Amino acid sequence: MPLFDVYPLYNVTPVSGKGIHVYDDQGTEYLDLYGGHAVISIGHAHPNYVEAVTKQVETLGFYSNAIQNPLQKQLANKLEQLSGCKDYQLFLVNSGAEANENALKLASFKTGKSRVIAFKNGFHGRTSAAVAATDNPNVVAPLNAQQKVTFLELNDVEGVKRELEKGDVCAVIVEFIQGVGGLDQGTTEFFEQVDALCKANNTMFIADEIQCGYARSGKFFAFQHYNVTPDIISLAKGMGNGFPIGGIFIHPDIEAKYGMLGTTFGGNHLACAAGLSVLNTIESENLLDNVNNIGAYFVEKAKAIPQIKQIKGRGLMLGLEFDFEVGDLRKDLIYNYKIFTGGAANKKLLRILPPLNIEKQHIDQFFEALTKALVKIEATV
């Protein structure tokens, strides 16, 4: 049976990974500066992660949410401790799309309203309501387009105010650093006024932290760079270092009722063990400090390269914008310099999302390769 052909694939077959590197079926080593869409947060095959997952699968990998699971409470307590988000409630799921789907559903339950405000170039997932709130018509089927979503420009405070005052908006959902869209960010004034407008209009403010959260921005959550209090916070990607897990933080003002949300696999024993190992490693290895230090080092190195027109993002969620499309540059980096990088909806942007324990030597390796690759590109123009 053939695979459903929806992914354009590089001709590379990774079979193992260790730390910041992956290795293909020929034994070739690659520097991983993309982490599989920011999923690999503490490095490939981190010993803490391997030990935790191995021990858990040897005892109990799964049972349903119909029974007590103390690992869920341990994970919730550790998340509260490290994130600083006191008194929120946690609902666990399997992926970022499922996190946003439940966030939007919960906002509609709470407010009794159904329209959503999202923003241009935003990406929130591929399930029904989440994909409807994603600004990409190529991934929105007619079935999804039945959802009531209004797209506004980032920083359009007046537009948000106008739409909220119509009285039918259940949620405003925003990435504090856009991922797939290309590392764009709203202003401090914009985020803080939107937060206030939501609270004044019985609308849930949803912080989509699926890619920009989990220490990647230099704070545990990217919204913490601003004076805002989201009603719901969605998280996933870096949460399990490759094991499927996601969740939403839910403000204490939102009351739980039996049956309003549910999941078969969400919060299973193995997922919680993986999630706890990631949090324990972020804490024990001081990875937030590393994100800020290495991120600053990366930016300084990038400033020395004249072909880079703009540096976007924060921490270790970074983008390098050029005045040409970067598709061929990415191919050159992976095939000739053995370095994984990422693209974006902005075709001129190179996306950098490495494991959070990356070191300066790896940044030096990247910029040495990038400089050589740019010389080749200029020679062909």
- For residue 381, name the pLDDT band (cuts at 50, 70, 90): low
Asked whether residue 9 is domain-assigned, the answer is no
Q: Report the CATH number that the domain containing residue 341 is assigned in CATH.
A: 3.90.1150.10
Q: What global pTM score does this model have?
A: 0.96
Q: How many domains does the chain have?
A: 2
Read off the pLDDT of each residue in 304-311 and give the average, rounded to a whole number.
Answer: 96
Asked whether residue 169 is domain-assigned, the answer is yes
Residue range 7-35, pLDDT digits in tens: 999 999 999 999 999 999 999 999 999 99
Residue 193 CA to residue 199 CA, distance in Å, equals 10
Read off the pLDDT of each residue in 124-129 and give the average, rounded to a whole number.
Answer: 95
Same domain, 111 and 253: yes
Asked whether residue 268 is domain-assigned, the answer is yes
Read off the pLDDT of each residue in 277-293 and give the average, rounded to a whole number.
Answer: 98
Residue 85 domain boundaries: 47-285
- For residue 378, name the pLDDT band (cuts at 50, 70, 90): confident
Read off the pLDDT of each residue in 110-135 and give the average, rounded to a whole number.
Answer: 97
Q: What is the mean pLDDT of the chain?
A: 97
Residue range 241-252, pLDDT digits in tens: 999 999 999 999
Residue range 195-234, pLDDT digits in tens: 999 999 999 999 999 999 999 999 999 999 999 999 999 9
91, 153, 166, 183, 221 from 192: Cα distances, Å: 26, 16, 20, 19, 15
Residue 167 CA to residue 149 CA, distance in Å, equals 14
Of 314, 12, 7, 377, the closest CA to residue 178 belongs to 314
Residue range 316-331, pLDDT digits in tens: 999 999 999 999 999 9
CA 304 to chain centre: 28
Classify each residue of 216-225 as buried b or exposed e, where b means 16 or more C-beta atoms within 10 Å of its C-beta. bbbbbbbbbb
Same domain, 61 and 20: no
Same domain, 107 and 219: yes
Read off the pLDDT of each residue in 100-120 and give the average, rounded to a whole number.
Answer: 98
Residue range 36-72, pLDDT digits in tens: 999 999 999 999 999 999 999 999 999 999 999 999 9
